[in-house]
Chains A and B, each alone.
Chain A
Amino acid sequence: MFMLSVTSHTVNAAQVQESVLENGLKVLLLEDHKSPAVTFQVWYRVGARNEKDGKSGLAHFLEHMMFKGTPSTGPEEYSRIIAKNGGRSNAFTSSDVTVYFATMSREKIGIELELEADRMANALLGEKYFEPEKKVIQEERRLRTDDNPASALGEVTSAIAYMIHPYRRPVVGWMEDIQHLVRQDLVDFYKLYYAPNNAFIVLVGDFSAEEMLPKIKAAFGKIPRGPEPPRVDIEEPEQRGERRLIYKKEAELPLVLSFYHAPNLKSPDSFALDLLTVVLAGGKSSRLYHDLVYQKRLVRGIDADYSGISVDPAGLSIYAQLLPGIEPATVEREIERGLEKVKAELISERELQKAKNQVEAAFVFAQDSIFGQAMKIGYYEAVGGWRQMDDYLPGIRKVTREDVRRVARLYLDPDRRTVGTLIPTKEKPQ
């Protein structure tokens, strides 16, 4: 909700092959011959996190403009070339990363390789396309945030949960900031962050690593190393006391969102935090779901998300959409009761085992998709190194009931939470 986050865990890191080109570009290859396709992804270690105040939306705007051509490829031609070669391509921006990707047959993936290498070095970001694309992005913001009650609530809740850390900014950018961005902002950002030494490549699928690596070297090896990009070292000061906000908008059902600051996967607590969210809201038999959806019939649905895969400490959030006629205060009180219980008493052995089973099954299911596997490798690499993937299941298996209670006590602290409530307004003239 606050960033793109991955919910399930995949891939055996032992099978990943790492190489680093002389210009600093890291290449991660994973052969998987289940289906006749290859996913190729270029990850830039830059996102909304690297923006300055007043320039929100810059990383995402640049992502859009990366499709506007190079000296050898016309505007939007990239997508056409991939499509006519039977591929699917796209890109996304998060707080931490900007990622470009295509999935194609093994015979055709070389085309994607050449095109990505070209735009890593030669994107034109043409002036002529800047203003129309700005409008497109404003439409994107209207579609995804302004007219979407859950996104709108998430955006303002993040803005209040963080005071100085850049995670307080929406990835798409504030409308006002988008309006004021100029092309030179993009050019500067591109020069600073789009370099081989600030990027890495992930390839998963039906290819031979032995054949692929020389092709990647040939395409990307000639791109010169760039300057070392500035580091973002902003630590959010400790929250001392609950923050609350109300957001009013035309909608049907109220929403309640509680965000608690929590560490990322660099902390050993992240395994227990993952299991805690499963115990709370993973599946219909989980505590909060069973209690609030099934027994008390207060909410339509309830989710608990913990995004450990983030470059800086992120959070654990609990999100509920209320049933008609239910008061947000009632729901908050019942959620709080559930959280107090998990802090006061140990969960049962069976609950712990059930949560672990769910995580392990999800781990297997996630390997069904080569794209999903590539995403997993990429996120781990972006945050703490892909080798940490192998720590995941052993880390989960070691978690005890005491660990779950301890992290619940430590992180589900009302003084370190932000509660956002969406109150529907009705102004239907018809």
Chain B
Amino acid sequence: MKKSLWCALALLISTRSVSPASAAMVSKRTVLDNGIVLLTSEQRALPMVTIELLIDAGSRNEPVNQAGLANLTSQLLTHGTQKRSATEISETLDFMGASLSTAAGEDVATVSMTILKKDLASGLELLADILTHSNFPQPEIDRQKQAVIASIRAREEDPGSVAEKAFAAALFPKSPYGRPVEGTQSSVKGLQQKALQEFFTRNYRPNRTIIAVVGDVAEQEIAQALSRDMKNWTKGTPAAKPTAPAEIGKAQNVEVNKDLTQANIVLGHNGVARGNPDYYAVQVMNYILGGGGFSSRAMDSIRNERGLAYSVYSYFSAEKSHGSFQFVMQTKNETAFEAIQIAKEEMRRMRERPVTDQELNDAKDYLIGSFPLRFDTNRKVAGFLAQVEYYELGLDYPDRYASLVRKVTGDDVLRVAKQYLHPEELITVIVANQKETGQKK
């Protein structure tokens, strides 16, 4: 029973958009003839290879009345090609002891494979097959629809997910960023084979794809293998740049009633995009507020001093076109409003008074010093390289990161707190037993 779940969560969240530096990570960038951007890092210590693909095939590319189409397409990639059945695909992967998973987000779809070096050729051939010849058989569509609907139901019993979903819907109404990527039970039921095939054909294209390969293989070897196996994968329409949500939800309270012992609370509002020049100052500011685990003010005042929560943290999620700020905690129903008051107070304090030099330096020292830990495994390196390319940070990003953080000043922190924290204009989501929170009469 880990002392803190939030810690894992916070780290996971921060690695999504920010990232690392290390001498151990020599990487190369190549653009293949068909437009694939290939990033490689040779790591010979273990006989394994990790491959991470980002494809511009997220839910922002699906028609509004086809919610869940990008996700279902992604789920079906491992469920049948012109020459392999779903069963053959899983049997092949399991026999090699390899893992191959697919997922869709709002912006991109991902395909991740980890495989032993000795099986790399077979793995690449399979990967190429699913990317070019997935054929979406009707019985597999029916199965995966049922699975997605069950997944939507299962998410409903996770109070944190319910709160997250309600927050996104309130913040980004009428935008793909406000809709669940999985779609709704009814929208998923309505998805048709033809739409899946069209979505696949249009969006799964090499010139919309980033491939990061890390492990026991040379750059040239992998470039040749990919050029050979994916030679029939031809360019399509280039991806349009993501556009920021046109409408930002106003401050509001969203209450969801469930038979729970705890109130799951999300407070937040609009944030910053990844390319915003204030991004690093915002990260430092948020570290002090609620991103810094046991070093954060939120943890101090809500957990340590008052014992109100086990998990409390805040984060700025920065995407390509937009971003959001969230302050997340769980406390017993009865203390929900007390905890919210303190959270708001901490946000106000960030805006009203400068942080101390020690807070500032500790935050920067952590962000810089822990940077290499963000890619201390091959899998993390692969994810990192793909993100660096997607967010256009440049392969020298690891070398630049420290100076980007180092130059943030106390004045910057105060300025971005005033500019990007809005404690009086929060979207407040409370998933709880509302009778016990005392607000519902």
Q: Which residues of A contact B (CB under 8 A)?
A: 4, 34-37, 60, 63-64, 67, 75-76, 79-80, 83-88, 90-94, 103-105, 108, 129, 131-140, 142-144, 146-149, 171-172, 249-253, 282-286, 290, 294, 297, 300, 321, 323-324, 350, 353-354, 357-362, 364-365, 367-370, 424-425, 427-430
Contacts and interface: CB of A to CB of B under 8 A. Distances in A.
Given A139-B331, A285-B95, 5 more contacts: A75-B304, A84-B295, A87-B373, A138-B332, A368-B46
A252 B303 CA distance: 31
B96 A361 contact: yes
A250 B369 contact: no
B153 A428 contact: no
Given A86-B368, A132-B304, A147-B260, A300 B147 contact: yes
A417 to B, nearest CB: 25
Given A283-B93, A368-B46, A142 B261 contact: yes
A253 B157 contact: yes
B375 to A, nearest CB: 7
Contacts of B93: 283-285
Q: Is the interface of A mostly helix, strand, loop or mixed?
A: mixed
A143 B99 CA distance: 31
Contact of B373 (A88, A135, A427): A88
A162 B343 CA distance: 43
A136 B46 CA distance: 42
A324 B295 contact: no
A88 B11 contact: yes
B105 interface: no
Contacts, number: 223
A250 B95 contact: no
Contact of A36 (B24, B87, B305): B24
A133 B294 CA distance: 14
Contacts of B375: 35
A139 B262 contact: yes
A278 B409 CA distance: 54
Interface string B297-315: 0001001111111110000
Contact of B307 (A67, A133, A146, A250): A133
Given A92-B1, A368-B377, A142 B332 contact: yes
A297 B43 CA distance: 41
Contacts of B159: 147
B353 interface: no
B2 interface: yes
A348 to B, nearest CB: 12
A103 B369 CA distance: 11
- Most interface-central of A35, A64, A171 (chain B CB within 10 A): A35
21 contacts: A36-B376, A80-B294, A84-B361, A90-B4, A93-B1, A134-B307, A139-B262, A139-B310, A140-B311, A143-B311, A144-B5, A147-B159, A171-B1, A251-B157, A253-B154, A294-B87, A323-B150, A358-B97, A368-B48, A369-B376, A427-B259
A90 B4 CA distance: 7
Contacts of B147: 300
A252 B159 CA distance: 12
Nearest to A424: B157
A83 B1 contact: no
B22 A36 contact: yes
A80 B96 contact: no
A360 to B, nearest CB: 6
A84 B143 contact: no
A33 B266 CA distance: 41
B289 to A, nearest CB: 15
Nearest to A369: B377
A428 B257 CA distance: 7
Contacts of A300: 147, 150-151, 154
